[in-house]
Every structure is written in structure tokens, then in C-alpha cells.
Amino acid sequence: MEQKTEKNVLEDERFEIDRLEILDCSKLRFYKDEGNFISLEYNGETYFNVRLTRLVPFYSKTTYISVAYDNKDNEFKEIGVIKDMAELSEDQFKMLDEYLEYKYYMPEITKIYSIKDNSRGFIFVDIETTSGRKTICIRDWYSNFRMLTEKMLYALDVDGNKYFCPDVEKLDKKSIATLEIFV
């Protein structure tokens, strides 16, 4: 009988780990610690330096945000998933959004002036971004300069910086014509 109870406890424990936990936004209290990292109070527990992850970073910036932490054995433990950040209070939303914008810093491409292929596997793309005009160099551009969906353009430059354009069809005609030959 006692053994059975232990079994049930272990089964419960396993289910608890594997089940998707959609977090109740009204119970979440995120706050910034002195080091500017985000900690969380939830269900009476405090989690320091929580790890916030956009589960579908290319499709949505504010939905399906995983909230996790590293336990003392440095193991990844997920507290749960925020289905939609819009359910958070305004200041909580702002804090998380700022952090995520930071973590996923990715200037948006707003115009493409020119693309030059040096015939050695590199292209040099002269772009206007939300962080200013820049010429980025892309290595192995068949993989690092491509359409993720029919509309979304993604670029990864030689330094590891990422750029994206959510909808290439909204670019001006010249940009589209310049882009067309390369993607």
C-alpha cells in the first residue's frame, strides 16, 4: 500500500514536469533586481534571474513566452509559458517587452539599396534599418540570407548580428526588385 502511494507520488511528479503550464498572468509579479536582471514571484515562490524566451521569435514577439530558471545544479527548469503578454498589467508588460527587445535585438530592414555578390560566397547588402543605414556582409548567403516564410526575410551577417524584414512586400519597388534576384 505504502509502495503504491510512493509510485503515485512519482507519477504525479513526472506529470508535473512534462505538462504544459500556462501561467496565470494575474499571479505573476516580475521585478528587476539590482543587476537589471528580471526575477519573478509566483505562487509564493521567488525565482531569481528568470530566463525569458520567445518560443516562436519569428512569428510572435509577445505570445508564447517561456519563463524558466536554472536550478542550483544548473539544470533548466521551466516555470511555465505566458500565452499572451497582453494579459499582463501595463508595467509588467513593459518590463518584459523591454527585456525581450534587448535579448532579441534585431534591427528591422526598411529599405534595400543594393546587393553585391563578390562571387566568393559573400554578399554585401546595403540596407536601411531601424538602427540606421548599414552595409552588412553575409557569408554563405544561401543559408544566411533567405526567406523564412513567403514574406519574412532573415539575414545573419558575418559578425553574428541578425536582421529581419517582417513583410518584404511592403518594401518599396526598387528594394523588392533588388532583393528578388537573391532570394
List residues near another protein by CB under 8 A.
7, 10-11, 13-14, 34-37, 48-49, 57, 70, 73-74, 98, 101-106, 117-120, 122, 131-132, 137, 139, 142, 158-162, 181-182
Residue number with CB closer to another protein (22 or 46) = 46
Residue number with CB closer to another protein (73 or 90) = 73
Could you tell me the smallest distance in angstroms from the CB atom of residue 181 to another protein? 5
The residue among 111, 102, 181, 175 whose CA lies nearest residue 141 is 181
Could you tell me the smallest distance in angstroms from the CB atom of residue 170 to another protein? 22
Give exposure, 114-132, as e/b (b: 16+ Cβ within 10 Å): ebeeeeeeebebebbbeee
CA triplet 171, 158, 110: central angle to 5 degrees? Answer: 15
Residue number with CB closer to another protein (26 or 35) = 35
| CB neighbour list of residue 142: distance below 8 Å, 6 or more residues apart | none
